[in-house]
Amino acid sequence: KKLDVPNHFVERKSDTEIIVKKMNMLPIECVVRGYFYGSLFSRWKNGKISLDKDAPTELAARLSKPIFDPTTKSTHDIPIDRDDAISKELVTNDEYDWLSEKSIKIYKKMAAVADESGFILADLKLEFGKLNNEIILADSIGPDEFRLWPKDTYKIGETQEAYDKQLLRDWLTENGYQKKFDDARSSGEEPIAPSIPSDLVSKMTQRYVTAYESMTGNTL
């Protein structure tokens, strides 16, 4: 309700379960970026995208305004632009415009909440579905779907302290598991999940709880 967009929520069944509306999900992930980081920075560094002449080029710099940067839904999400999304019939012209406008509005509202809570919302991934021809916000929204940085340690040009799943991403990459996952998928095999160290689990749990309590005002 606070995001002012129809959503899939029906009721809470327990502390770990909610009942949601069943719908047909749109085959597009709606990513909004407010900072020059992650795959946006990597694509620019590798020459895959160009920037406006006045755009920031330092890692983690704030963009002049949030941008809609959607991807496909696949094992490796592929960035797409408006022409791609429409020509591949992922969404219609009007649907793309609606998704772009609503996604950016939601990002701005959540970024304001994060700011008041002592955090920076660097980017956000949203998913939408259709029910009775109406587009509805679906899926979860949390540290698995956004990058969240503490304001007091933020510094342009550096890797940021993560209160999101980046902690796990980094561990998987540093220990060679991400490459194993990619190789397995490329050969059509099911990747084998590693055992996550208990100290990493504890660190992620603590940061997820901190993010939740700071942004919602609720306690766990």
Q: Judge whether 35 lies within some domain.
A: yes
Q: Judge whether 64 lies within some domain.
A: yes
99-144 pLDDT, tens digit each: 999 999 999 999 999 999 999 999 999 999 999 999 999 998 999 9
170 and 152 assigned to the same domain: no
Indicate the number of domains in the chain. Answer: 2
Contacts of 154 (CB under 8 A, 6+ apart): 60, 120, 160
Q: Whole domain around residue 169: which residue ranges? A: 165-220
Which position has the higher pLDDT, 181 or 162? 162
The whole-number average pLDDT for the span 36-40 is 94
Structure token digits, residue 202: 């504890």
Question: Does residue 1 register a pLDDT over 70?
Answer: no
44 and 144 assigned to the same domain: yes
The 10 Å CB-count burial string (b at 16+, else e) for 133-160 is: eebbbbbebebebbbbbbeeebeeeeeb
When mean pLDDT is compared over 2-16, 45-59, 69-83, 147-161, the highest value belongs to: 147-161
Could you give the CA distance from residue 10 to residue 177 in angstroms, rounded to a whole number?
Answer: 38
132 and 179 assigned to the same domain: no
148 contacts 211 by C-beta, under 8 angstroms: yes
CATH number at 59 reads: 3.30.470.20
Contacts of 130 (CB under 8 A, 6+ apart): 23, 24, 26, 136
pTM, rounded to two decimals: 0.91
